[in-house]
Amino acid sequence: MPYFVCARDGAGQIILKRDTREAAEKKAAELRDMGYFEVAIIAKGVEKAA
């Protein structure tokens, strides 16, 4: 399941895709350390066709 890390800084918004929850959490922590704010992880479920 893909995870999207969303964050904002003074210039705009960034959205990064990660394949695992652990990788998304690591990137979110790195972004917070770099001064980004409103950092959120969004899990996107895989949709299946009927």
Asked whether residue 49 is assigned to any structural domain, the reply reads no
Digitized pLDDT (tens) for each residue of the chain, 50 residues in all:
899 999 999 999 999 999 999 999 999 999 999 999 999 999 987 665 55
Contact, 3 vs 19, CB < 8 A?
yes
Domain hosting residue 35, numbered range: 3-43
Asked whether residue 48 is assigned to any structural domain, the reply reads no
Asked whether residue 16 is assigned to any structural domain, the reply reads yes
Report the 10 Å Cβ neighbour count for 25.
14
In DSSP terms, 18 is beta-bridged to 3
Give, in order, the Cα–Cα distances in Å from 34 to each of 5, 28, 39: 14, 10, 11
What does the alpha-carbon distance between residue 29 and residue 45 come to, in Å, rounded to a whole number? 23
Taking the model in full, what pTM does it have?
0.82
The SS3 call for residue 49 is: coil
The whole-number pLDDT of residue 48 equals: 58
